[in-house]
Structure 1
Amino acid sequence: MDAVRAIADTILYEGHLLWPYRASAARTGKRWTIGGVQPKDEAERSGGRWTVSAEFLLEDGPETTVEFTLRFLHAVHRQVMDGDAPVEELRAGDVTYRTRQEAREREITSGRLPVARLLRSPVRVPVAIAAGLDEEPVAGAARIVRTWDRVTGTVVLSAERAAPGAVRLRAVVVNTGTAEDRDEAARTGMLCAHLVADASGGDFVSPAAPPARLADAAAACHSDGLWPVLAGPTGGHGTVLAAPIVLYDWPQVAPQTPADLFGGAGLDRLLAELSAGDPRGGDRATTGTGRS
């Protein structure tokens, strides 16, 4: 799953970090550029999505199981505090701390589900992430306060017989929260959302290049806001990635990409670079490889 996670993390952070960026640019008012599943009321006002879905085929047997994982970013507000006073930035020694928007990765998994169970009736997996707050002392009375809002929703999983020896799996992601405006929608949304499906005892069918006997069944699959492809090692049929951008089967992260770009020190370093001001008084611009 390492190869799948690498490409999934690239998708996860593409809308958050990898766009041409200036700290003062108007675009930064809406950092989340792809894959947002918003509360229904704001989605209907803004033309966004409050639900996304994916359908794809799985060649199954009596013991076939499948596990679904919903992954998304959860917006976090990082506020720098000088004592009890909120400030935009604070310098302590050689380090400058800045107020900014961050994000946390969230994963919701269905656990292993027999395909036979999904054929009987849909399975609903709740999305329920509580609002929260944490504090990080930095120097003296200075601290960083991080807050995040509640995110609620449902993942509905089902299956139907599509052809002899093959089922059509369907996953529907719904945001059941509410939001009064775009800012609240970002805080309560499932940002850069995507699904990973992992099969045991069965083989997923390529949506782009199905075998001839399953071509009609594959053509009858309908997805909305997510585009499923085979993922993992080239030639493997055990994993599907349903992403908010169009990919080819078995996508790979470019070999020149730093291995730790989206984890630990790599992500912290990139966040710091993106939010840093140019020492000459301007803004630093960072160019990435985003797609719209």
Structure 2
Amino acid sequence: MSVTSFAPETEARLALARRVADAVLFEGCPLHPHRATAGRSRLRRPFGVLVPPAWDAVDEEYDFQYTECLMEPGTDACLAVELRFLRARRRTVQRARPDGEFETVPELAFPDEMLVPLDEGTEEHVEALLTVAELAGGDGIAIPFGCPASEESEAVLDGDGRVAGRLIHRHEEISGVLRLSARRLEGPFRLMRLTAVVENTSGWTPAEERPADRDAALPHCLVATHLLMGLSAGSFLSMTDPPEWAKGAAASCRNLHTWPVLAGERGRADVVLSSPVILEDYPVPAPEGPGAPPVVHTPEADAIRGPAGSAPPEWRDPVTATEATPVSDRIVVEGRSVGVGSRVRLKPGMRRTDAQDLFLRGRTARVEAVLNDVDDTVYLAVTVEDDPGADIRRVQGTFLYFRPDEVTPLEDDA
């Protein structure tokens, strides 16, 4: 969905920043091929989630993001804004019955694959091109947006070409609003505070017959929500390292559930990425290897990994290394022996910067391997116990990684 289309020169200026934004958008969604000839974006436990207003079961999730940053716009400057998020598409698996009807099942097994219900992430975006003068007038600009409900059916064939079942892909209706405004600040400089608010206004309400649960709310959420903003003339100021004369103004800006950083070509300051994942200025995307999700690298840190360290650290060569053998190694955690098959409770530490960790804290997981990285740091590779895609993760090797002090053993192992 689009409010307007950007001009070619605007697209070119946002292109590099959009590559970084893609890492933010899709890092939690590795490709999950449900058939040999097709692929879908598997939605992991997401981050940057804006829930519908009726969902108030937890304090860590909100129905809005609030961004403020500083800019010095040029004469007659325009602001290009792109709101991007994922929308959950729920996949239901059904088996064909002899009478020609279909029944919903928890899985559909074939010799070379197993189909299971899951949530897939599909990209949505809202674009706006406005003058700074428009934003500075009155209460600013409000841009409503919406996505209608939809449903698609896909036949699943067995090895003989007969219909063995079908996949039902369902989108629920969602709606929201993007609010933009700008205000001139006092002082000798042409400094303005830009405010951008994203709200989920979806009318979903919990079912009366059972308590509200996150699984029911997710199809009505905006997932991995972030903003790209570019000036046609002028520049933004770094919110991480503002110039001395602007530090007071930067400190007065409010940023809730998101953080704006300079993005795009290093040395320029005309594009900002407001991300739910904590980044430094001028992050750049970098692949972690074939089939791995993108990560965001910054000059100050080796990598911003997400969600919850889903991209593995650089491991020692298992053929030559003697410090760690993933299948057989065990370590002692809180006086208990922990190894492959052990059950643990996750307690992500303060060293982590990913909002995704809020969803993992307190959940139970099973250890899949004990590993050492090149710095001799020990990690536990785990799968979350109530993750319906745990079997797929084991095959693909897309585990979550935690240090020993970030887990609590649940039982002694023989």
TM-score bracket for the superposition, by shorter chain length: 0.7 to 0.9
Contact 2:49–2:221 under 8 Å retained in 1: yes
Question: Distance between the aligned counterparts of 1:135 and 1:40, measured in 2?
Answer: 30
> Which residue of the partner structure matches residue 118 of structure 1?
135
Distance of 1:89 and 1:123 partners within structure 2: 47
In the alignment, does 2:58 pair up with 1:46?
yes
Match for residue 261 of structure 2 among 204, 229, 242: 229
Partner letter of residue 248 of structure 1?
A: E
Q: Describe the SS at the equivalent of 1:185.
A: helix
1:10 aligns with 2:20: no
User: What is aligned with 1:156?
Assistant: 179
Q: Do the aligned partners of residues 70 and 259 (structure 1) sit closer, same or farther apart at CA in structure 2, a change above 3 Å counting? A: farther
**C-alpha distance in 2, partners of 1:93/1:253?**
37
Structure 1 unaligned residues grouped into runs of 5+: 19-29, 263-273
Distance of 2:227 and 2:290 partners within structure 1: 24
1:68 to 1:99, Cα distance in 2 relative to 1, 3 A: same
Identity of aligned residues (%): 31
Q: 1:277 aligns with which of 391, 394, 413?
A: 391
Aligned to 1:21: none
Whether the 8 Å CA contact 2:73–2:231 is kept in 1: the answer is no
Instruction: Give the drift of 1:94.
Output: 4.1
1:79 correspondence with 2:191? no
Measured at CA, do residues 17 and 95 of structure 1 come closer, stay the same or move farther in structure 2, by a change above 3 Å? Answer: closer
Looking at both structures, which has the greater relative contact order when contacts are Cα pairs under 8 Å and sequence separation is at least 6? 1
TM-score by length of 2: 0.58
Deviations 1:63-107 (A, max 9, x none): 111111111111111122223122333345745433222111111
Worse-superposed segment, 75-84 or 219-228: 75-84
Seen in structure 2, the aligned counterparts of structure 1 residues 3 and 213 have a Cα distance that, compared at 3 Å, is: same
Secondary structure at the aligned position of 1:116 is classed as helix
Where structure 2 has 5 or more consecutive residues not aligned to the other structure, the ranges are 1-13, 32-42, 97-101, 207-211, 295-387, 403-414
Name the residue aligned to 1:68.
81
Determine which structure has the larger helix proportion and give its number.
1
Aligned equivalent of 1:187, options 205, 219, 237:
219
- 8 Å CA contact 1:207–1:218 kept in 2: the answer is yes
Structure-2 separation of matches of 1:150 and 1:92:
33
Cα distance 1:250–1:101, how it changes in 2: closer, same or farther (>3 A)? same
Write out per-residue CA displacement over residues 199-247 of structure 1, whole angstroms, 9 at most, x where no aligned residue: 1112111112222332222222111111000011222212101111221
Residue 259 to residue 66, structure 1, CA distance change in 2 (3 Å): farther
Are residue 199 (structure 1) and residue 231 (structure 2) matched? Answer: yes
8 Å contact from structure 1 (residues 62, 116) kept in 2: no
Alpha-carbon contact 1:129-1:150 (below 8 Å) kept: yes
Amino acid in structure 2 at the alignment position of 1:105: E
Query: For residue 200 of structure 2, what is the aligned residue in structure 1?
Result: 175
Per-residue displacement from partner, 1:169-199 (whole Å, max 9, x unpaired)? 1001111123312222211011111111111
Distance change (3 Å), C-alpha of 1:97 and 1:31: closer
SS at match of 2:17: helix
Aligned partners of 1:3 and 1:79: how far apart in 2? 36
Tell whether the 8 Å contact from 2:287 to 2:293 is kept in structure 1 after alignment: no
Q: 1:124-158 CA deviation, whole Å, 9 max, x = no partner? A: 11121111111222323332210011111111100
CA root-mean-square deviation: 2.9
Identify which of 187, 190, 197 aligns with 1:165: 190
- TM-superposed deviation, 1:31: 4.1
For residues 261 and 52 of structure 1, the distance between their equivalents in structure 2, rounded to whole angstroms, comes to 25
- Secondary structure of 2:285's match? coil
Question: How many pairs align?
Answer: 265
| SS of the residue 2:257 aligns to | coil
